[in-house]
A and B are shown apart, each in its own frame.
Chain A
Amino acid sequence: MLGLLKFELYKIYKQKSIYILFALLIAIISTGGWIDRSSEKVIYQGYQKWEGKLTAEKINKLDRIREDGNKKSDTGQEFTFKEHLLYSISMVIFQQTNFTEERNKEITQLKEKIQQTPLSYKKRQDELKKDMLSSIDTSDFYYPKGPAIMLDMIYTFGFVITAFMTIIGIGPIFSKEYSSGMDQFLLSSKYGRSKAVTAKILASLLFILSVIAMWSLYSVARSAYSFGLHGWKSSIQSVIQFLESPYPFSLSSAFTLMMMIHVIAALAFGVLVVFISAVSKKVIVSVLTSGVIFGLPLVLDTVLDYGGTKKVWVDRFISFSIYQFMKVKELFVGFRTYNFFGYPVLQPILAVILSFLTIILFWFITQWIMKKKQITV
C-alpha cells in the first residue's frame, strides 16, 4: 500500500504543469501585498496606543478626535499624516462601537421575540442567534491588519489556487491512465482495482494538502513580513468584511477554523475530481468538467454580484457549491441556518457535514466504479 502510494505521489508530482501553474499563480498574487514596512510600522505604532480594553476614556478621546476630523474634512483642511492616522483609527473604533450598540439592540429584540413565540424552529433559531451575538466580545481592540490579510488570502486567492492546482494536478489521475493505455495493467493486476485506487485517492488528498500548505505558508510569510504577527486577539468583527458577522470568534480562532473548513472542502473537491477523472476517457474532459463544477458557481456569483438580484434557487445553488465551501468567507459573514427536524443548523456546520459526505460518497463510488471498470479503447 505504502509502495503504491509512493508511486501515485511520484506520478502526481512528476507533472511539470503543476509547477508552471503554481509559479504563475504565485507570481500573480505577488504583484501586490509586499508593502513598505517602515510606513506600516508607523501606522502600527499609531494603533498600538489604543490597543487592549476599549475604556470609556479611550472612546471619549477618540470621539473628540473624530469630531475634529469631521470638521476638518468638511472645511477642506489638510491633514498631517499623524492627524490622518488618528482620524482613521477613530473611525474604525467608532464603527465598531456603533455596531456593538446595534448588536445589543438586536439582542434585546430577540429576547422579546423569544418570549412571545412558542417552541418552534423559529424560536430555536432566534435563541441560537441571541446566544451567538451575546458571546461576541468587542470590548478589546487590537490592530488586526496582519490576520486580516491572512484571512483575505483564503477567500481572494487561496481557494482559487487550491482549486486550479487540484483540477490540473488531479484531473488526469485516472483519465491519463486510460488515454495512455496503462489502464490495461491497472485493471488486470491484483491491486489495480482496489489498493491502487485507494492509493490514488490518498495521493490526491496529500497533494491538495501540500498545495494548501504551500500557499498558506507563503501567505503567512508575506503577512508576517509586512505586518508582523500580532492582532490575533482582536475579534473577527474588527475586520471590516466581518463587521456584521454573528460569530463570536477572535481572529486566531476564526483563521484556524476557516483554514480547517477550507481544507475539508478542498479534500471533498479533490475526491470529486478523482471521481470525475475515473469516468472520463480523456484528460481534457476530466479537467474541463472539474473546471465547470468549480467555476460555474464562481462565475455566476461574480457576475450576479454586479448584476443585482439573484433568484432564490441561484442563490441556493451558489451557497451550496463547492466553490462557496472552499472560499469559506460567505459562511461566516451572516447568520444563516437550515431547518433539520426543527433544529437550526448553522451554515458552516452544514458545509462541513456536506463536505464529509461528499468525501465518503465519491470515495466509495470511485472504488466501486474501478472494481467494475472495463477498458475503454
Chain B
Amino acid sequence: MNLAIEHVTKKYGNHHAIDDISCEFSNGVYGILGANGSGKTTLMRMLATVTTPTAGIIRVNGKNILSLGDDYRDMIGYLPQHIGLYKNFTADKFLHYIAALKGLSKKEAALKIEELLDLVNLMDVRKKKVGTFSGGMKQRIGIAQALLNDPKILIVDEPTAGLDPKERIRFRNLLSSISGERIVLLSTHIVSDIEFIAKEVLILKNGRLLHKRNPQELLHEIAGKVWLVTTAESEIPRYQDMFKVGNIVRSESRVELRIISDDRPSLAAILTTPNLEDLYLYFFEEDFDAGPVKV
C-alpha cells in the first residue's frame, strides 16, 4: 500500500490551510504533529475525501483517490476530530448503521461489531444510547466505527483528545497492535501519543510540512540543544524570558529546568538526551502542551 500526497494545497479564501505539501506513506504508523491551526484536520479531511484539495493530487498505489471514489473510500477508516453521533442510537445500532454505509453485509457486520466492541471495551454499554456516552466512550466508538471495514488506510484525527491517561495508553497499544498491514495516520498535538509507536513523525506548521522523519532522526536534529539547569525558584521567570523552558521539576529548595537552546543557557547547565516533547517545543514555542503525565 502506497499513499502519496503530491503538491497538495488547500485554501480557504486567501488563507492556506495546507500549503504545497508532498510526501509518501507505506504501511506503518505516522504521527502528524502540529499546534492547533497547523492544518492537521484539513490534511486528514482531504485524505478522507470529505473535502478536496485546491491544488495537487493524492494517489493511492498510483491512482488519484478522487477518481477511485467509492473504491478508495472502501479502503479507508476515518475518525474525524469532532465526531457527531446520533444521540438516540445505541452503540450497537450506530455501528450497524456505519457498517451498512461501508457496505458490510448484516452477518459480517454482526461479527465485526462484536469483535470491535470488545476491542474498545464497550461491550457492556452496547445497548446504551450514545447520547449518554462520556467523551472517552464516544472516542472509542469512533475508533470502532473506523475499523469496521478493516481499512487499509486508517485516518484518525486527534483520537486521544478527551481520553484519560489509562484510556490513552490502551488506545496507543490498540493502534500499534493493528498497524501491521495498513497505513495509520494519526494527528495529535500531544507528543506522548506517538513517541513510541510512530514509524515516522510529520511536523506541520502553518500548513507547511517541516519534517517527515523517524523519531530518532528527528531527535538528532536537536541533539546538543537540550539542557538541564538547576537553579532557585525565583530564577524561573528569568529563564522563561530568555529560553524555551520545558519541564520544571521541583525538589525541596531547588528547581530543575529543562531548556531548549542552541547555546548553553548557563555555566552550570548540563546537556541531556532530547525527547519528542523537546522536539515539539523546539518547533512550536507557542501553545506548548506536553499532554498528560507519562505513566
Contacts and interface: CB of A to CB of B under 8 A. Distances in A.
B126 to A, nearest CB: 17
B49 A185 contact: no
B97 interface: yes
Contacts of B102: 189-191
A31 interface: no
A196 B101 contact: yes
Contacts of B49: 187-188
Contacts of A187: 48-50
A185 B98 contact: yes
B78 A375 contact: no
B78 A188 contact: yes
Interface in A175-223: 177, 180-196
Nearest to A7: B97
Interface in A335-352: none
Interface string B21-52: 00000000000000000000000010011111
A374 B52 contact: yes
A184 B101 contact: no
Q: Interface on chain B toward A: helix, strand, loop, or mixed SS? A: loop
Contact of A188 (B52, B76, B82, B86): B76
A374 B50 CA distance: 5
A3 B103 CA distance: 9
Nearest to B52: A374
Given A185-B101, A196-B101, A374-B51, A190 B149 contact: yes
A35 B295 CA distance: 78
Given A181-B80, A181-B83, A191 B50 contact: no
A14 interface: yes
Contacts of A185: 78, 80, 84, 98, 101, 145
A183 B101 CA distance: 12
Which of under 10, 10 to 19, 20 to 34, or 35 or more describes the interface residues of A? Answer: 20 to 34
A375 B52 CA distance: 10
B85 A182 contact: yes
Interface in B60-105: 69-70, 73-74, 76, 78, 80, 82-86, 88, 96-98, 100-103
A191 B145 CA distance: 15
B133 to A, nearest CB: 15
27 contacts: A3-B100, A3-B106, A4-B100, A7-B96, A180-B84, A181-B84, A182-B84, A182-B85, A183-B50, A184-B80, A184-B84, A185-B80, A187-B49, A188-B50, A188-B76, A189-B73, A190-B70, A190-B74, A190-B102, A191-B70, A191-B101, A191-B103, A192-B73, A192-B101, A193-B73, A374-B52, A375-B45
Interface of B: 45, 48-52, 69-70, 73-74, 76, 78, 80, 82-86, 88, 96-98, 100-103, 106, 145, 149
